[in-house]
Amino acid sequence: MWEYKIIDSDNAEKGGFLKGRTVEQAEAYLNSLGAEGWEIIDIDFHMDPMMPGGPTHFHGIAKRTK
């Protein structure tokens, strides 16, 4: 049996230009979910092409064994 979690960049640490999330902050948040046993099964990730490295926004679904 699985349990599911909606993930959103709003839960990642903020910082940097306009208080957005950098790629590193997004990775840290996703890695923390992995450490809790969550596996990302779908993600929609957007970056501002004018600002390499951030800000970023994403949302998706994760699952883990219940």
pLDDT band at 16 (very low <50, low <70, confident <90, very high): low
Q: Would you say the C-alpha torsion 50, 52, 55, 56 has a positive or negative sign?
A: positive
Q: Helices marked H in the chain — which ranges?
A: 23-35
Q: How far apart are CA 27 and CA 13, in angstroms?
A: 10
Tens of pLDDT, residues 28-63 = 888 999 999 999 999 988 876 776 666 678 889 999
Q: How far apart are CA 28 and CA 13, in angstroms?
A: 9
> How many residues would you count in the chain?
66
Residue 64 has pLDDT above 80, yes or no: yes
Quick check: pTM over 0.95?
no
